[in-house]
Structure 1
Amino acid sequence: MNDRLIRALTADGRVRVIGVNITQSLNEAHRRHQLSAVATAALGRAMSASLLLASNMKQAQARVNVRIAGDGGLGLVYADAGFDGTVRGFVTNPKFELPPLADGQQNVSQGIGHTGFFKVMRDVGYGEPYSSTVELIAGDIANDVAWYLASSEQTYSKLMLTEVIEQDRDDAPVKVAAGILLQIMPKATLRAAKTANLSQEDLLSQLDAKSDTQKFMDLLLQGKAITEVMTEIFADMHLDILPMSKDVTFSCPCSMERVLAAMKMFGEEDLRSMIAEDKGAEATCHFCGEVYHATTEQLSNLIADLQVVNT
């Protein structure tokens, strides 16, 4: 089943519902970075969150990156996603491990820590990117994202992020990984009171009731697609699936050409040292783990380019 992002409306258009399945993408991230179980879970939640946040942007080239820096052992958890459905990410301490919780879930909150910062940077596709930072309140990412949306964007939101990691599997340990974001549309509570005699408290109570992460995970484990899961959760509220779904893939724009362009920053002296001492150079992309090898000929060409520029 391919990874997919689905957008929908419910409660007569008063609530936005966005769902994403990233099981394959997270397995690819695990393969590339050789993540521990708790690092896999944390990165998966960050990847889901970045995709959900990016889905509300307008430009095809728009991107959102999420940076979670806490005082836990995982260090920085970083995810970058595009409106086009591409996503990538990394954890600075990918081997850090913790025992699972009593219910078998990964202890993401302790892995990230409870003291630190949650930062979101948005590149809308034109002009300068803008960012906003809030303090961590939970470390589980779901509640931290909801807090960020409430404090930075004044949007009431509920977020469900879940994953099942099979630690005895090395090739594809992620059985399921997905997320659902619920958001009240602007001025929705006022319209609700006028059209359905539904108070603000009633609407918030309904969203709280729908935010059942255990039920969400159970439906995924039954093999249901993200669209089916969303439809079942909101069966009594009439879910209107929008024609704006898209495939999700783990993807990184790094390339040998970009690596060589970056290597010019070392300067002629350092490049000559790489040729003489190392017979080339090696670079690893932090975002996807791809390893690039530059030959002595390629480094010599960079030196020649620098000499032309400096003449």
Structure 2
Amino acid sequence: MTDTLVRAVTTDGNFRAIAIDATEMMAEVAKFHEASQLGTTVLGRALLGSLMVSNAILKGDERLAVVINGDGPAGKIVVEASAQGEVRGYVTNPTVELPLTAKGMQDVAGAVGSNGFLQVTKEIGEGDPFTGQVELMTGEIGDDLTYYMAKSEQIPSAVAVSVLVDPDGTVAAAGGFMISALPDASDEDITALEDKLANLPSISSQLVEGHTPMDLLFNLFGKDDVKLLATTEVALYPEISKRDYERMLATLPMKDLQEMLAEDHGVEIVDRFTGKKIQFDEAELSGIIAAKDAEGL
């Protein structure tokens, strides 16, 4: 099954809805980072939430970057996402481990921390990037993105993200939804929605049972009360090739390249987004230096 994101609207015109199932993508992410159950859950929530936020507020080729920086042992979380459904990200400490919560859940809030901020930088058009920043509310990530949408984007929303990881590290389910109130929604409509959300089965349990992103919305609003607007495939950004890294190295000052050659006899680059290591041996680095010198750079 291809990972998908759906965008919909309620037939009464009161709410816009986005839902996502990215279970396969998250399985790949977990392998990349050799993450713990908690680390995968933390990063997964950030990736899912960023995909939905980007779909809600961006268009065309626009992109955004989300940085979550709390005081917890997971460290900083960085995610890049596009309006086209592409995403990548990393957490500083993917192997973070903490005791389960009293409810037997992964302690995401404890790993992320709540003494920090969530920052969203949007690349829109050819102008300078726009950055909005809010304080972390709980460190649960969904709550924090909900607060960002209301505070910085002025769009009252409910963001829910869920990642279920089995004890062996297998990602059993990864999905979520974002419900945003439209101008016609009354206080009574919003209260009724909140009641429904409080009694809804967990997202991960619905996905494990085979429910689709649209099913998540049907279960919330009713099958006849939601209209599908668009479907987007979601996937990780293509990996950066060794050739691309070679071009990046060539932009460094000659002095820095010569120091790498003299002291380390090569260079190792770690791709934070995939965890992969890219090696340039002494001969390869010498070739980059020679080409740069020949061009007079």
The normalised TM-score by structure 1 is: 0.88
Mapped contact 2:6–2:232 kept (Cα < 8 A): yes
SS at match of 2:52: helix
- Residue 277 of structure 1: how far off its partner (Å): 4.7
Shift of 1:57: 4.2
Q: How far is 1:14 from its partner?
A: 2.2
Counterpart in the other structure of 2:177: 180
C-alpha separation in 2, matches of 1:222 and 1:58: 31
Which stretch shifts more, 123-132 or 1-10?
123-132
1:128 aligns with 2:124: no
Partner of 1:55: 55
**How many angstroms apart in 2 are the aligned matches of 1:116 and 1:253?**
30
Uncovered stretches (5+) of structure 2, i.e. residues with no partner? none
| 1:29-44 equivalence runs, <5 A | 29-44=29-44
Relative to structure 1, is the Cα distance of residues 305 and 57 closer, same or farther in structure 2, using a 3 angstrom cutoff?
Answer: farther
* DSSP 3-state at the match of 1:127: coil
Which whole-Å CA distance do the structure 1 matches of 2:181 and 2:156 have between them? 6
Letter aligned with residue 181 of structure 1: M
Displacement of 1:252 in angstroms is: 4.0
RMSD: 2.0
C-alpha separation in 2, matches of 1:83 and 1:202: 32
* Residue type at the aligned position of 2:8: A
> Which residue identity lines up with residue 220 of structure 2 in the other structure?
I
Q: Do the aligned residues in 1 keep the contact of 2:11 with 2:227 (CA within 8 Å)?
A: no
Moved more, 121-130 or 131-140: 121-130
Give the SS at the match of 2:149: helix
Asked if the contact 1:57–1:124 (Cα under 8 Å) also holds between the matched residues in 2, the reply is: no
Structure 1: state its 5+ residue gaps: 190-199
Q: Which moved more, 1:30-39 or 1:291-300?
A: 291-300
Name the residue aligned to 1:218: 205
Residue in 2 that maps onto 1:192: none
Alignment partners' CA distance in 2, 1:155 and 1:295? 51
Cα offsets for 1:164-202 (capped at 9, x unmatched):
1112x24xx1101111000012x223xxxxxxxxxx221
Structure 1 contact 63–82 (Cα < 8 Å) conserved: yes
Residue 37 to residue 144, structure 1, CA distance change in 2 (3 Å): same
Q: How far does residue 276 in structure 1 lie from its aligned partner after superposition?
A: 4.5
What residue in structure 2 maps to residue 195 of structure 1?
none
| CA–CA distance in structure 1, aligned partners of residues 282 and 65 of structure 2 | 35
In structure 2, what is the Cα distance between the partners aligned to 1:138 and 1:97? 18
Matched, 1:160 2:160: yes
Q: Deviations over 1:137-189 (max 9, x none)?
A: 1110111111111111111111111121112x24xx1101111000012x223
For residue 211 of structure 1, give the secondary structure of its aligned residue in structure 2: helix
What TM-score, normalized by structure 2, do the two folds share?
0.92
* Closer/same/farther in 2, CA of residues 252 and 115 from structure 1, 3 Å limit: farther
Instruction: Give the superposition deviation at 1:302.
Output: 2.0
Distance between the aligned counterparts of 1:9 and 1:28, measured in 2? 31
Conserved? CA contact 1:22–1:44, under 8 Å: no
Matched with 1:304 is 290
Letter in 2 for 1:177: A
> Deviation of residue 125 (structure 1)?
4.2
Q: Deviations over 1:32-91 (max 9, x none)?
A: 111111111111110011100111245432112211100111110121111111111101
